[in-house]
A = this chain, B = another copy of it.
Amino acid sequence: MQTTMTPVCPAALGMPFQDVDTPALLLDLPAFERNLAKMAAAARQAGVALRPHAKSHKSPDIAHRQIAGGAVGVCCQKVSEAEAMIVGGVRDILVSNEIVGTVKLNRLARLACTGHMSVCGDDPNNVADLSAAMVRHSVTVDVLVELNVGARRCGVPPGEPALELARMVARSPGLRFAGLQGYCGTAQHIADYQERKRAIDHAIAQCRITRELLASNGLECRTITGGGTGSYEMEAASAVYTEVQPGSYIFMDAAYARNRSKDGSPFRDFDHSLFVYSTIMSTATRDAPVLDAGLKAIGVDAGMPRIWDLSGAQYLRASDEHGTLQLPPGTHVKLGEKLRLVTGNCDPTVNLHDWFVAVRDGRVTELWPITGRGAGL
């Protein structure tokens, strides 16, 4: 039984980017490289480790470039995503999530044979299952106790409950207590800078008191990790977090750009490098031309995409395979014309594609397969 098709590649090396077939993900390499370098410099200057989140790109090619720029490894959110990274040669992975169920725990244990694996925990039963799986495979994994630092999405309460779970981790065979994860997901997208800062200050304080409580009980947190593209400089400057895990900074989606551009310098710091490339495939309704990229090419959970190449035009409505535009009066587009779109949320958008088509000086210079695409298990 054939279980998968070889993904059609929308481009060939050396072609002008205008010849790339659509829908496709275009990566502006100079902008991407500036983003890589800026984040690496920011982490270096703050004296924290950089462990970018691979859930944004799902591509070992990008992970290797992040590591070459100084990242200590990457984060993954799923075991199958980590498998794609391991197969692609990445050897230091934090699964920044709880892994539940014997099937996945066994797969995680097998990955721990091939490199340095870390994982989060927020439940004693899960920690017991994790320990049992590692013992079955004669491996050891680093465990970070995840704190609920305000986002109410996974994580034990800070303080005593965290101490209790950390103690259990520390005495469990096959597990090494490594520290804390305190990722405040909801804060990443708070539009107002001061409000976002208050949320992160709270997260920092929760990590600090928990770190101190653990230290006074003989448990050292080697790592305290968290922070995303919306807040990383706050965690990096906290003297509490030892590691930041931003993902979207390499691409900059519309949602993050909207907020960060309001923050003012030094926050206006990353460029859009990722575009969904799309073709006008119908102009039969003149004022409402249709693009070939809809819900199966663009994540719309953070709103419709912005049209990068046509001032005043709006992406009005997404259906499964179509996007209907609204043009400003007097504007026309031609059948076959191609437009770049900036997606609201880069992560679910990348998950819909098989290739990054990387462009420099107007030509395709790299093709990176998104081998972790759809890795949900």
Q: Which residues of A are interface residues toward B (Cβ below 8 A)? A: 1-10, 21-24, 55, 77-78, 80, 83-84, 87-88, 97-101, 103-104, 122-123, 125-126, 146, 148, 152-157, 185, 279-285, 288, 290, 292-293, 295-297, 299-301, 318-322, 324, 335-336, 345, 347-348, 351-354, 369, 371-377
Contact = CB atoms under 8 A, between A and B. Distances in A.
A126 B335 contact: yes
Contact of A1 (B6, B185, B369): B369
Q: Which 6 A-B pairs have the closest CB atoms?
A: A3-B369, A154-B282, A122-B284, A100-B281, A295-B348, A77-B321
A21 B153 contact: no
A104 B21 contact: yes
B5 A351 contact: no
A123 B282 contact: yes
Given A23-B377, A292-B100, A322 B5 contact: no
A2 B6 CA distance: 11
Contact of A351 (B100, B185, B352): B352
A5 B3 CA distance: 11
Contacts of A351: 296, 352
B284 A123 contact: yes
Nearest to A373: B374
A185 B319 contact: yes
B377 A87 contact: no
A333 to B, nearest CB: 12
Contacts of A122: 282, 284
A4 B55 contact: no
Contacts of A148: 284-285
